[in-house]
Amino acid sequence: MSSVPERGEIDEEYKWNLADLYEDDEAWEAAYEDAEAEIEALAAYEGEMTTDAATLLATLEQLEATMRLVSNVYSYASMRSDEDTRDQEYQAFQARAQSLYASASSASSFMEPELQSVSRETIEEFVDEEPELAEYDHYFDDVLRMKPHTRSAEVETLLAELSEVTGAAGEVYSMLSNADMEFPSVEGPDGEEVEVTQSNFTKHLKNPDREFRQRVHESFYEEWGEVRNAVGASFKNSVKADGKLAQARNYETARQAALDGPNVPVEVYDTLVETVNDNLDVLHDHADLKREALGVDDLQMWDLYAPIAGGESPDVSYEEAREYIVEAVAPLGEAYQERLAEGLDSRWVDVYENTGKRSGAYSGGTYDSQPFILMNYQDDIASMYTLAHELGHSLHSDRTSDEQPYVYSNYEIFVAEVASTVNETLLTHHLLETVEDEQFRRHVLDEYLERFRSTLFRQTMFAEFEHRAHEKSEAGEALTPDVMDELYGDLKRTYYETAEVDDAIAREWMRIPHFYRAFYVYQYATGISAAVAIVDRIRDEGEVAAEEYRRFLESGAREYPLELLRIAGVDMTTPDPVQSAIDTYGEFVGEMRDLVVD
């Protein structure tokens, strides 16, 4: 029986180097105490912030000192907990760090109301008196534009203090899905028992043995069915919390609140959904191709991830993936390429799955640390693409930290998903153009098509589901598990009109952690659309376009997301990038059809 190793069985070279943040837990404890003192120092400026230019600057500098330290403390605790979610000590660390973060948010909650109590003219006078304030010009603009949605200092303090409570649904879901749920093992193609986990579920659905895929699919969703009431309650309360917080800030809907934060018009969201729905025939064509290539009468839900390249999927070791990715990013310039390679050699990445480890992958770290990447690497092409994806995030953060002051270091997710997908797209072109093994090339093209399908179409479907669920909640309708199953199942049948949609897949909404970050998922779809456009420019125009893209990466949050993308030559207020990406997807589907269908 295949098994997942304990963390102690994994070599140190494949674990991230958290000593870049804190040498040990004792150093973290000391930093925690320092952070508490910094929070107290920040709170002392309440009521004084806009007294004069010097005090305003001092308050902003104290905010930076506080939040940089709190971020370091929180990041270390969170990553330690993610290494093994069963570890009670690090769960306690994370809980304490969350409380610390809430305290810092509470202590700083007076700042926006106080800034908004003075005019833009007064701010400009302060800048004239204290030139160092000029660096905060975009920050001031962002704060002042949010005045209609900022409450009194007292209410802002209360909302900050409630952040742990309002985020509790997501925390409960995370512990349930990562630590408490145990999926049944199933009989593998060779007759031996195979363990199914959150991390390896999709990999098993790529196995050539169709009956095995069906067993994995059914057993996985049967387990979700056992916890449907708990997950349903978590999701319902998460949606309600989003709605109540939006109302507290004078928004009509949670979607308006979520998109107004990064200053993205809701029309961008709607344009994405409309453009994708207008082109579902391309997705249907891909589904039909998969059915033909697999030689089945009906395409079932456990067939969606099955490779159609034919033959056994090649293994890609972590070392091989590193080499491919470093070579693939060469069009972005020598400095970018060298920094990526240096990061891989500096233990940015926590590579392999271990028992209790958080599922999935992410790029983390802070302004003061090296980037950190959590992986659950599975020695396959998909894992190589995930590594390239997370490295895109990490290089974006790394470039931003080097070029921008702290105040502009936290760029929005809307632009973050561009950097990650640029790396994926460059990797695809590199592999198709340099690897001679025809079987490997077919699997690369198949993988890229799957990423297109799951990023552009699947995430847009998620965005539709999330929007409709919130609309039901806002209309006073009950969000029961049955209601969610029906809503999700209907969308799945629309998107996969030519396939068979079974009852089990209607529970898929239960396994999507991103739903606990309101209106987050659509940005994957806009991200791949922008990324394809950027890579096309770089391939057509060379260094000129690459330099503009690097400037985009280095700009952090100095401008609003739509303006940042214009630096890289992309206008997301129009349907053009989305339509162009779908057209590219259609071309690749046609190319794959020529390769695999006689």
Residues belonging to the active site = 390
Q: How far apart are CA 337 and CA 327, in angstroms?
A: 8
Neighbours of 202 (CB within 10 A): 16
- In contact, 155 and 244? CB cutoff 8 Å: no
3-state DSSP assignment of residue 578? helix
- Rg of the chain (C-alpha set): 24
Q: Where are the alpha helices (DSSP H) in 132-176?
A: 137-145, 153-161, 163-166, 168-175
3-state DSSP assignment of residue 364? strand
Which distant-in-sequence residues (6+ apart) come within 8 Å of 300 by Cβ? 214, 499, 500, 502
Q: Please state the separation of Cα 148 from the chain's center in Å.
A: 29
H, E, C per residue of 24-44: CHHHHHHHHHHHHHHHHHHHC
Nearest to 293 by CA among 208, 211, 217: 208
Q: How far apart are CA 287 and CA 299, in angstroms?
A: 8
Neighbours of 14 (CB within 10 A): 15
User: What are the C-alpha distances in Å from 142 to residues 116, 137, 233, 262?
Assistant: 11, 9, 35, 9
The first and second tokens of residue 417, run together, are: 């998903």
- CA-CA-CA-CA dihedral for 390, 391, 394, 396, to nearest 10: -110
Percentage helix, strand, coil, to 5, in the chain?
70, 5, 25
